[in-house]
Chains A and B, each alone.
Chain A
Amino acid sequence: MTAGRPLPHDSAALHVSGAARYVDDIPLPANALHLAFGLSPEAHGRLRGLDLDAVRQAAGVIAVFTAEDLRFANDVSPSVHDEPLLAEAEVFYHGQPIFLVAATSHRAARKAAKLAKIDVDPLPAIVTIDQALSADSRFEDGPVIWQNGDVDNALARAAQVIEGSVELGGQEHFYLEGQASAALPQDDGDMVVHSSTQHPTEIQHKVAEALGLPMHAVRVETRRMGGGFGGKESQGNALAVACAVAAQATGRPCKMRYDRDDDMVITGKRHDFRIGYRIGVDGTGRLLAADFTHLVRCGWAQDLSLPVADRAMLHADNAYHIPVMRIESHRLKTNTASATAFRGFGGPQGMFGIERALDHVAHVLRMDPVDLRRRNFYSGPGAPRQHTHYGMEVEDFDLRPMVSALLQRSDYATRRASVDQWNRENAVLKKGLALSPVKFGISFTLTHLNQAGALVHVYQDGSVAMNHGGTEMGQGLNQKVAQVAARIFGIGPDRVRITATDTAKVPNTSATAASSGSDLNGMAVKAACETIKSRLVQHLCKKFSVSDKEIRFEDGKVKVCDQVFSFADVVQAAYLARISLSATGYYRTPKLSWDRVKGRGRPFFYFAYGVAATEAVVDTLTGESRILRADILHDAGASLNPALDIGQVEGGYVQGAGWLTMEELLWDDDGRLLTHAPATYKIPTARDAPEVFNVALWDGENREETIYRSKAVGEPPFMLGISAFLALSDAVSACGPGYADLDAPATAERILAAINRVRA
């Protein structure tokens, strides 16, 4: 069976040889222009004057554009039209694009862009969460509040209430390939756009608006991205629109890619949060009530912040049944780059809140943190079902057996004892060990996005070409989907070619996001393949006077009773019999009903689960730390490709651990991002991955009818990294009687400060 096999990524051979093409590698005609933005030098202010003479006169410059030069829509927002491509009267963050230079080379454009005299009359900049709160600077009229029961009442009756607050930093995507786009004007005024985007349809939409064209006049193609992680869901709009506008104006192909520093300054990142919590427990550690406050720093434009903040609220329970719950979510507007989608889309922040709170509760109750967690898990199969705080029944709670299995595999109890012993014997280095589970809801919370289309062609030689709305950013979506098609036709995956995502082939697609790629597109492709297959079957039934039960497609052959034909021969015969060998497929996720205003309903088709145990060590003299070992058990349902899924788990864990340990974004008081390059913003290297790294997939299948009962795997493993943070917290707690009270990211500086606190 092809689906389920651990085949390599379909582009692996191209990756390793350097032949795989990304947007900046596409050869363009010699007259192509290269673009660069001129950026706002202030975080907030009125644009008083813009002297671009020197820019225009600089070597290689062909054209310069300001907002006034834009003939149609000046907007690149994915949501509420609040994000101009080029600033108009006011600038809202340091690094906001103000003008656009088109020049004969990338370097010439960048050099010229620095020559502008930008006169900005500064206005007070709101940079921090506290500043935004005190200025009441926010999106929506007030906080979004979801309540399930009377939390004050429940807390008043609890045996103990544990209160705290934790800072949780944002995260730069640091996709290795920076944002890039290229636009090629066509002879009839149409525009072809190559974009490194997770959302070609939105690029098409924004480009069409900006060019004053109907959507059918714009074709967007995305072959692959060098990483996305959510950072290319909306953040590529500006480049694509800039290229299209400049290409329309000059009649020449235009390409734009951000220099890394510009990329980090201009584009949005993961939302940083401050999370306040009050947790009521009974004498046995049972959670009675929880009251969370999410202060969410959204940046200057709305972008995707509302659904991100919603998803944080939706994951405030993580894996625990909390009978009474209140969450207050403040979506704060600040003069910083607009925070955006990033793997987990708010889920990690919500989940971090409860996990951190439980860490605190366990410390106060002097209870084993694993016991505390297990005591509060949702009910498993067999027991009466429980509901989440937003009213969704938890039907498939697999974490109880998964946690038991992981505790055993990781030899947790023995290692707990040896960590404690180490800590008794060592004065300078202290170890910590922690476990954390993940329950992550799968589906877009904007219900209409849960649909997908596909286009499948079978050629006369039996080779198959297909296209779907998903984009390939490294997750192996195309390979997985090709395996689905291969399985249906009973042919080798090498006979299936997935071509670049193309808005002219599959229209009106959703972003490849919310882990939905293979769930949605796999099903759409399956539908298309089955349409074609059933035509072939019908044809064979008629021709051989057999029933469809007597026909099998396997091993590249078609078996009709005891006759065997090659797939190619069957296809050829069908063609001669004038049978259509091309079909579209369509899928929409069932069972969803969600009222986001009330915060009630079933926003998710199902949950994906995982559990990780991490061991870490800290240096009490310097606060330096290191992850020693991680053991993970992750639920990918009946995996479509276990090798690719394990890749997502390993990569997700390291990225999640990086977020909470070493990756720190810093702004100065004037709203300038200080860590705008990999020189100062540090993502994990090979040495920062756990020295011992045991990752396995849980042997189970999705109880819902997903594509071959698999589960989505893009985002959920990211949150396994929370266990790394908790292990550090555990190590710090070994230094003294107090609670570590560690903020994230747990840098050496924060760890050392926390050690001083617990000792005090």
Chain B
Amino acid sequence: MIKSRLSCLPENNNPAPLLRRIEAAHFGTDRVRRRDFLMDISFRLNGELVSLTDVDPTRSVLDFLREDKGLTGTKEGCNEGDCGACSALVGDAGGVRAQNTCLMMLGHLDGRALVTVEGLAAPDGTPHPVQQALVDHHGSQCGFCTPGFAVTLAAGHLSSDHDIKTLLGGNLCRCTGYAPILRAAEAAATETSPPHLKDALEAPRPDASKEAGPACPGAVDALATLYADHPEATLIGGATEVALDVNKALKDLPFPIFLGQVREFDKIEITEDKITFGAGASIETLRRIMAGHHPGFAEMLTRFGSAQVRAAGTIGGNVANGSPIAETPPPLIALGAELHLRHRDARRNLPLEQYYVAYGQQDRRDGEFIEAVSIPRQKDRLRSYKIARRFDQDICTVLGAFNIHVNVGKVLSARIAFGGMAGVVKRAEAVERALIGRPWTRETVAAALDAFETDFAPISDLRAGADYRREVARNLLLRYWHEDQGTPVAVMGVTP
């Protein structure tokens, strides 16, 4: 059963177009070239330096831990990033966070530090405060989810993150109902983090003499050349999509290019008139920055995947494949974002909505990649409404982003974009037209609702029926209006 996380139709389990191209390409026979994409990798594992030579960098870190290292405390609950049982701590220059090892590949480990559940306790065996609290508060029943919870809680503990429910959105427990785990988190919050963790999470110094192999370019120019020469390669950002091809569709990726060490990709530039994100900026970084500019965007992003997925997933990976239910594109389009593409030395810029040509088709040629995404600076009027089956860690059924500027009671401009309503993320242009220039009143809003019929003809799939999508899309415009009037509209905002 092939699966692609962001596919919206049950039968539409098509792999990404890029991958289709690779299938058509002639790989597997050219031994020498294949070898080029093997890697020498060094990283710190539970405090110890580990060096591996000539490894397939696409091997899953979870399998490596369990099968090669006998570190079986890290569990496989789903092998697709949804349960958190495989969580481990990752440390590098960007800080420390929990990630799903089932979605990590060995190539991601190079130059980083990894601490598994086995490494949480102090060298003398003293349990980590979160481990002790889990025992004291009966936080484990069957215990299978527990290592993952311990790790994620330890990550939160290290960064003094007290929004525990958001932190734990990617850790499933089927036994406890979470109550004792939340009690444990609360109890552990006041304890200090054991000192050995800081050292164990210190990334090993990058080896200056080491030639970063083709699979792991260090600079964007190198990437541009390599990818133009090898358009059949697979670009790998956080692998939160690509790993599913490996884990679930059981594909081999003979020509992987890891983007994690491309220096320019992490850059975030904030100028007078725009904010530019390197393609490798994580969703978590995007969320953090957006909190200061468009808090409604940031708020929606706390529901993007889980803490683990947000830490790994990149903005480039999210927008690249044109999934109709990818969640950054609607708010990005509503904000008027631009995509910066590059092929070898040729660069071009494109309004994001123009990149999405049709379902499964983007305006991107072979060997071209996304270098950055930029958002024009503006006054914040953006709200992003994600409708999903579950609050945390679920892909949207419908996602509506509204950026409606009002001046002295009149709608000055409106950019509205929806995910889950068509084969691509798409602007609601007819609705925008029905609003612009009109008084910002309930009547205008009510009169604009029928324009949704012009803009969208949604389909039914396993997330919801077409009628539901249609009705909810209309109602989200109403929600925006109600919220603007100060009416409570969010179930999460209600206090018991």
Residues of A within 8 A of B (CB): 6, 8-9, 11-22, 24-25, 27, 105, 107, 110-111, 114, 173-178, 224-229, 259-261, 265, 426-429, 431, 473-476, 615, 617-619, 621-626, 628-629, 643-644, 646-647, 650-655, 662, 664, 666, 668, 672, 674-680, 682-693, 695, 747-749, 752-753
Contact = CB atoms under 8 A, between A and B. Distances in A.
Interface residues of B, number: 93
Interface stretch (B225-233, B371-379, B388-396): B388-396
Contacts of A178: 76-77
Nearest to A257: B76
B116 interface: yes
A13 B475 CA distance: 50
B348 to A, nearest CB: 34
Given A16-B150, A474-B175, A619 B79 contact: no
6 contacts: A16-B150, A224-B142, A226-B142, A684-B390, A685-B169, A686-B169
A653 B496 contact: no
B141 A626 contact: no
B161 to A, nearest CB: 13
Contacts of A227: 141-142, 144, 174-175
Contacts of A18: 71-74, 116-118, 147, 150
A748 B387 contact: yes
B208 interface: no
Given A176-B174, A622-B472, A748-B387, A677 B3 contact: yes
Interface in B140-196: 140-147, 150, 164-166, 168-169, 171-182
Contacts of B471: 752
B70 interface: yes
B464 interface: yes
A176 B1 contact: no
B491 A625 contact: yes
B10 A674 contact: yes
Nearest to B487: A428
A687 B169 contact: yes
Nearest to B128: A16
B135 interface: yes
A749 B140 contact: no
A118 B393 CA distance: 36
Contact of B143 (A11, A618, A678, A689): A11
Given A15-B143, A474-B141, A685 B392 contact: yes
A677 B175 contact: no
Nearest to B143: A15
B396 to A, nearest CB: 12
Contacts of A651: 141, 174-177
B174 A678 contact: no
Given A227-B144, A679-B82, A749-B468, A176 B494 contact: no
Interface string B4-17: 01000011000000
Nearest to A692: B496
Kindly name the residue among A229, A476, A619, A685 whose own CB sees the greatest number of chain B CB atoms within 10 A: A685
Interface in B369-417: 387, 389-395, 397
Contacts of B5: 679
Kindly name the residue among B66, B465, B488 whose own CB sees the greatest number of chain A CB atoms within 10 A: B488
Given A260-B78, A664-B389, A748-B387, A626 B172 contact: no
B146 A16 contact: yes
A654 B476 contact: no
B489 interface: yes
B135 A13 contact: yes
A252 B67 CA distance: 18
A39 B393 CA distance: 29
A749 B458 CA distance: 15
B131 interface: yes
A682 B389 contact: yes
Interface in B74-96: 74-80, 82-83, 85
B259 interface: no
B110 interface: no
B79 A12 contact: no
B172 A647 contact: no
Contacts of B390: 662, 682, 684-685, 688
B353 interface: no
Contacts of B181: 686
B50 interface: no
Contacts of A678: 78, 80, 82-83, 172
A473 to B, nearest CB: 6
Contacts of B79: 259-260
A655 B390 CA distance: 14
Interface string B104-117: 00000000000011
B114 to A, nearest CB: 14
A750 B410 CA distance: 36
Contacts of A225: 142
A644 B5 CA distance: 37
A679 B393 CA distance: 8
B118 A17 contact: yes
Given A651-B176, A654-B178, A22 B140 contact: no
A677 B80 CA distance: 9
A624 B70 CA distance: 44
Nearest to B249: A114
A176 B77 contact: yes
Contacts of A629: 496
B138 interface: yes
B346 interface: no
B492 interface: yes
Given A20-B143, A678-B78, A679-B5, 10 more contacts: A16-B139, A16-B147, A428-B479, A474-B144, A677-B3, A683-B174, A685-B172, A687-B165, A691-B496, A747-B389
B295 to A, nearest CB: 19
Contacts of A260: 77-80
B75 A176 contact: yes
B136 interface: yes
Contact of A429 (B76, B120, B171, B489): B489
A176 B488 contact: no
Interface string B228-260: 000000000000000000001010000000000
A182 to B, nearest CB: 13
A693 B176 CA distance: 13
Nearest to B173: A176
Contacts of A8: 135-136, 138
A114 B395 CA distance: 28
A683 to B, nearest CB: 6
Contacts of B392: 685-687
Given A175-B174, A622-B387, A752-B471, A650 B179 contact: yes
Contact of A17 (B78, B127, B495): B127
A622 B479 contact: yes
A27 B66 CA distance: 10
Q: Which 6 A-B pairs have the closest CB atoms?
A: A18-B73, A226-B144, A474-B142, A15-B143, A654-B177, A474-B141
Given A17-B117, A622-B387, A685-B393, A693 B138 contact: no
Contact of A655 (B142, B143, B169, B177): B177
A30 to B, nearest CB: 12
B189 to A, nearest CB: 15
B462 interface: yes
A261 B182 CA distance: 29
A675 B82 CA distance: 13
A169 to B, nearest CB: 13
Contacts of A625: 491
B121 interface: yes
Contacts of B387: 622, 624, 748
A16 B134 contact: yes
B171 A624 contact: no
A715 B77 CA distance: 23
Contacts of B66: 24-25
B373 to A, nearest CB: 25
A294 B178 CA distance: 33
A377 B372 CA distance: 66
